[in-house]
């Protein structure tokens, strides 16, 4: 893998999809604005715009499972979203275990922010954690 790749990470949800951009060189990620999901459909135009802006070499999607590695309804929806990303944009898309990332994102905000943080921002912080997990594994 080249030393410097840009990746986009996604924390899939049924109302919002958190997003983050990361770099393999620094192994860090930064939050981007969350993408709205309306009538079970992500805002593909916003996602396309993010891809056009950042030109990622990989797309990373958090895979939700239970603590005992069991799948549930959101697992299948996240897998479908990952397949749609790869099919629409022809960019290699990988799944990463995302257990407890939203809880960790809430904890980060509670300790670091003195202002109200809304759910879409939390989802993008979770996307940062997902993206950094992938970066640390590669």
Instruction: List per-residue pLDDT tens for the chain, 138 residues long.
Output: 556 899 999 999 999 999 999 999 999 999 999 999 999 999 999 999 999 999 999 999 999 876 566 666 788 999 999 999 999 999 999 999 876 565 655 556 555 655 556 777 888 888 999 999 999 888
pLDDT value at residue 130:
93
pLDDT value at residue 123:
84
Secondary element (H or E) of residue 105: helix 101-112
Secondary element (H or E) of residue 32: strand 28-38
Q: CA angle 27-60-132, nearest 5°?
A: 25
pTM above 0.75, yes or no: yes
pLDDT value at residue 78:
93
**Hey, where are the domains in the chain?**
6-137
Assign a CATH topology to domain 6-137.
Answer: Nucleotidyltransferase; domain 5 (3.30.420)
Q: In Å, what is the CA distance from 40 to each residue of 36, 77, 135?
A: 10, 10, 29
């Amino acid at each position: 893998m080249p030393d410097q790749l840009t990746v986009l990470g996604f924390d899939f949800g049924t109302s919002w999809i958190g997003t983050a951009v990361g770099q393999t060189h620094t192994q860090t990620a930064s939050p981007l604005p969350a993408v709205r999901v309306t009538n079970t459909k992500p805002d593909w135009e916003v996602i396309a715009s993010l891809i056009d802006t950042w030109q990622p070499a990989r797309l990373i999607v958090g895979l939700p499972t239970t603590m005992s590695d069991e799948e549930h309804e959101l697992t299948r929806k996240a897998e479908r979203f990952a397949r749609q990303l790869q099919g629409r944009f022809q960019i290699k898309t990988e799944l990463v275990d995302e257990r407890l990332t939203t809880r960790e994102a809430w904890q980060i905000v509670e300790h670091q922010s003195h202002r109200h943080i809304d759910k879409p921002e939390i989802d993008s912080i979770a996307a940062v954690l997902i993206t950094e997990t992938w970066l640390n594994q590669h």
